[in-house]
A and B are shown apart, each in its own frame.
Chain A
Amino acid sequence: MSLIDISGNLLFVAFIAYLVATLLFGGSIKQSNATGKNTDKWGKLAIIVTIIGFLSQLGYFITRWIYTGHAPVSNMFEFTTAFGMFIVGAFILIYFIYRLTALGLIALPVALLIIAYAAMFPTEVSPLVPSLQSHWLTIHVITAALGQSILAISAVAGLIYLLKVVDLKKPSKQRFWLEAVMFFLVVVIGFVIATSIFSGMGYESNYTYVDKEGTERQITYNMPPLFGMNEYKAVEEHGMSPLVEMPALINAKKLTTVVWSLLVGSILYLLIRLITRRRISAMFQPFVQRVNLHLVDEIGYRSVLIGFPVFTLGALIFAMIWAQQAWSRFWGWDPKEVWALITWLFYAAFLHLRLSKGWEGEKSAWLALIGFGIILFNLIAVNLIIAGLHSYAAS
């Protein structure tokens, strides 16, 4: 077995471990509700399994690093996987400060979704273009991802807070948006399912199209084309033809992926609602009934306090040093840079609102969720939609 296979297997082991640990965390809370005892036993087991998973994923990271010769954070799959790993790491850190089991019940599924999402991207090892061949790739990306992961824990705490305080019996804006967050998580599962099914079938259709600058190009769809590229012509088509042709500005292939994910996600969501006859928020609510709101609020705040300096260092300061070396200017208003700045400004506003306006508790929890939304936007949308220097594998 070669090093890269070992690496892949370790990642798989980590994934399974996180899954098991999630169930154990759930069990630990259920147990404590029922009897008030055994919490320690289940909780301890859960955190041990989490740590095993984390070490296994660390093994994946290190073996892949040795195999490729550079830190495995250079493409969408590698970076997103590492982001998931750091979220688990940040969770373990915060867990040992506050010992709150409910945190694991949310943090681990979020990490699982992120890793599953990552696995939908090409996992092959690809070489580095000259601008990425720098130690700063390692330093900048790892520090930035670490900062983002710690900040993510504040969103986890925020979600727990909201699950407890939002009244799910009466219709309200809060109830709607909380369920919208849950729906978004289900759509991510929808993306994973749709991608896995079509790639399992080996689906492929080829088209030529004309891009926005008027050049003719080729494109391969890995999902049945719902939308066609600008002036598309089929080269080799399977199953179906595109239903609608899109203008050159819109990447119809990506739109197809988004719509398939939404479709599958919505069906899945409806099935869940039909079977359980409850909102997903309501399914989670019993697990967080016993948490101390003050403590959860403090965990959310503390994660921002711990994560903000790390994020500043990695995503802004190290980024500037590297940019100065690779591109001769420390700041170039590249979309990814701008969104890192936006993330930073947002959390700065978060801290000021909390300090002087007393935005604590529920308001703070919503802000933490929005902050995580910005981080995800920067990871997903800016990389895939707004192309720039950071969009991976550009020549």
Chain B
Amino acid sequence: MENIICACGHSNPYGTKLCEKCGRPLTEEGKETKVVDMRYDGMAIRSKTYNKTFIDKIWNFFSSVKVGITLIIITLVAASIGTILPQEMYVNAPEANKAEYYEKVYGWFGKFYNSLGLSDLYSTVWFQVLVGMLAISIIVASLDRGIPLHKSLKNQRVKRHESFMKRQRIIAEGQVQNPDATLDKVEQKMTQLKYKVRRDGSALLAERGRFARYGPYINHVGLIIFLAGVMLRLVPGFHVDETIWIREGETRAIPGMDGYFIKNNEFTLETHDNKPQGEQLAQGVNVMAKNYQTDVTLYKQPEGALPGDLDNLEKVKDYSIRVNHPLKENGFALYQMNYRLNELKQMNFNLVSKANEEEALGQIEIDLTNPKKEYDLGNGSSVEILVYTPDFSGFENGEPQTKTSIPNNPAFLFRMKTPETPKGEVSFVEIMKPPLEPLGENKYRMKFAGAETRDSSNFTIRKDSTVPILFVGGIIFMIGVVIGSYWNHRRLWLQVEPDGRVLMAAHVNKNMFSMKKDLDAVTSFAELPQYEDQLEKPEDAEKSEKRGIKKKEGDSTL
């Protein structure tokens, strides 16, 4: 590709719209328009220049802002579709029955929604590809435009050609009495307005807030870092997500956190003692929780200990885990997620003679998580547990069955031996039910003598090594977006010829309102000719032209 030689003699790269040196428009289109397109200061943009090879085409596709906006809109619409019905993770049904749940609760639409994968939309490949394409678009578009813009802003000349000046949105032309004094006054005023002023002979360039032009590129960098952090979570090791149920009094190894153990000392549930009202009443919520708290002790195995060796644990700390107050240790965090109240811990039974229930031969205390095989009562009597079902659900082929391993409904098959019945009598005992005596009527029975309960807590264990990356990305994004939004790049060019002819032009990338205040100030201070806003037409002209004129390109620039 050939370079473009400007009338001023400067050799510009192919694709340049405004001469890098003097600012003369180089394209036919540029020469014809009244107000020149100042985006990227007229530099050659790769995507607008090359369109030959396959790579060019891919590059051009992703660098297009139109494509970027389309991707944003598609992502937006897709995301909204995912909120029509609750996502799978919020549905209260076992994993295997989710599809059924959608059909049962939401009918044909639910079935359709679920079968299209919309019920787990945000984990679908196509949604992630969409976000990935958005990320590529951000990277390519930023490189495509950011680099030329940076070069152009860095190499700005003070003196620009008249054809450049006259094609700015704000222009002024006229005569002044004393050229040198005018230049000095403008410099003085603009410096006072915190502009950086450069002079080159009879030309002057005052510039303020150039860094604002970098805002969008900085926030795009932040976004990319953030998205990279999110993607890193898919790499094993960067992200631990485990869960543990632990009963009061228990000490258990923490899954995902090697060498650490946790003891549940006590779980507390507090409720507000308010009278239900308003929304609470409307939703039928009777009691409102005030606090979920588990007091725990965190232990660590000493260096070099055998796994499973619980005898020599070192205490790390005591902590009360509450909602919003996770336990943090070594990059891990434990969150209070769920609880179960009043789980049976221990059941006590008295061995009594049916003839005289008041006098017990002895009491057995059954630890429901770790029952003993046999309890010796000393006086020649003993009780043997033949079968224990923690969560009894009925008999199958004569065998008692258990639904779960949680002692929700414990049942026992006992063999009771006493001096009177040395061979032993067999009895099946279930809470709140008369005992079954499968091998004939017994003389003795196990009489319920109380139970102890305890609460159980559920924690989520998280470690997310990507959080610092996400944080850095977020901060960079905020810095960029603030710079780009709250500051603007203002420039004023002024040329005063020795004969007193003055030419002024101004450009601002956004917020012309504030720029005009500066212009008013400098115009009256240095007695410059009144400027004109070439885009602002008198009201009448505007009305008649409104429907006819072709919409202009944005005068705001990235």
Contacts and interface: CB of A to CB of B under 8 A. Distances in A.
Given A130-B323, A355-B556, A312 B288 contact: no
B460 A306 contact: no
Contacts of A393: 278-280, 283, 285, 288
B554 A359 contact: yes
Interface string A129-141: 1110110100000
A320 B290 CA distance: 23
A326 B323 contact: yes
B279 A354 contact: no
Contacts of A388: 86, 90
A98 interface: yes
A382 B289 CA distance: 24
Interface residues of A, number: 73
Nearest to B277: A124
A354 B551 CA distance: 12
Contacts of A345: 72-73, 75-76, 79
B83 A395 contact: no
Nearest to A299: B513
A356 B467 contact: no
Given A326-B323, A392-B279, A393-B279, A356 B285 contact: no
Interface in A167-224: 212-213, 217-218, 220
A328 to B, nearest CB: 4
B148 interface: no
A338 B69 contact: no
Given A130-B292, A220-B282, A335-B83, A313 B478 contact: yes
Contact of A355 (B282, B482, B557): B557
Contact of B79 (A123, A305, A341): A341
Contacts of A44: none
Interface string A319-340: 0100011111110111100110
Contacts of B66: 357
A128 B556 CA distance: 46
Chain B interface SS verdict (over half): mixed
Interface string B69-91: 10011011001101100110110
A352 interface: yes
Contacts of B485: 305-306, 308-309
Given A212-B105, A295-B513, A359-B554, A352 B72 contact: yes
A353 to B, nearest CB: 6
B462 interface: yes
B515 to A, nearest CB: 11
Contacts of B122: 333
Q: Which of A130, A324, A341, A354 has the most CB of B within 10 A?
A: A130
A232 interface: no
A34 to B, nearest CB: 19
A56 interface: no
A86 B390 CA distance: 57
Given A328-B337, A346-B76, A358 B323 contact: no
Contacts of B72: 345, 348-349, 352
A342 B279 contact: no
B558 A355 contact: yes
A330 to B, nearest CB: 7
Contacts of B90: 334, 388
A355 B554 contact: yes
B554 A356 contact: yes
A75 interface: yes
A349 B69 contact: yes
Nearest to A335: B83
A126 B279 contact: yes
Interface residues of B, number: 74
Contacts of B277: 122, 124, 126
A358 B553 contact: yes
A136 B284 CA distance: 27
A213 B106 CA distance: 10
A274 interface: no
A220 B485 CA distance: 49
Interface in B17-69: 39, 65-66, 68-69
Nearest to A290: B539
A354 B554 contact: yes
B478 A312 contact: yes
B69 A358 contact: no
Contacts of B68: 352
Contacts of A237: none
Among the interface residues B76, B274, B462, which one has the most CB atoms of the partner chain A within 10 A? B76
A44 B490 CA distance: 32
Given A341-B79, A393-B279, A301 B324 contact: no
B76 A342 contact: yes
B536 interface: yes
A50 to B, nearest CB: 22
Interface in B386-438: none
B474 interface: yes
A293 B542 CA distance: 10
Contacts of B283: 393-394
Nearest to A394: B283
A395 B285 contact: yes
Interface in A109-160: 121-124, 126-127, 129-131, 133-134, 136
A243 interface: no
A302 interface: yes
B154 interface: no
A357 B92 CA distance: 46
A122 B279 contact: yes
A394 B326 contact: no
A20 to B, nearest CB: 29
A330 B470 contact: yes
A326 B278 CA distance: 25
A220 B280 CA distance: 13
B324 A352 contact: no
B335 interface: yes
A306 B486 contact: yes
Contacts of B83: 335, 338-339, 382, 386
B210 interface: no
B333 interface: yes
Contacts of B278: 75, 121-124, 126, 393
Contacts of B143: none
Contacts of A294: 512, 535-536
Contacts of B554: 354-360
B558 A131 contact: no
A305 B76 contact: no
A129 B337 CA distance: 14
A130 B322 contact: yes
Contacts of B284: 217-218
Contacts of A355: 65, 554, 556-558
A249 interface: yes
Interface string B462-483: 1000010010001001100110
B291 interface: yes
Nearest to A336: B83
A165 B546 contact: yes
Given A312-B481, A352-B68, A393-B278, A130 B291 contact: yes
Interface in B257-292: 272, 274, 277-285, 287-292
A317 B219 CA distance: 14
Contacts of A212: 105-106
11 contacts: A123-B278, A130-B290, A130-B322, A133-B323, A293-B542, A308-B481, A334-B90, A354-B556, A357-B553, A359-B554, A360-B554
| 7 A-B pairs with least C-beta separation | A122-B278, A358-B554, A393-B279, A130-B323, A328-B335, A356-B65, A127-B272
Given A129-B288, A298-B511, A338-B79, 13 more contacts: A76-B279, A98-B513, A309-B485, A313-B478, A325-B324, A328-B460, A332-B89, A345-B73, A345-B75, A345-B76, A349-B73, A393-B278, A393-B279
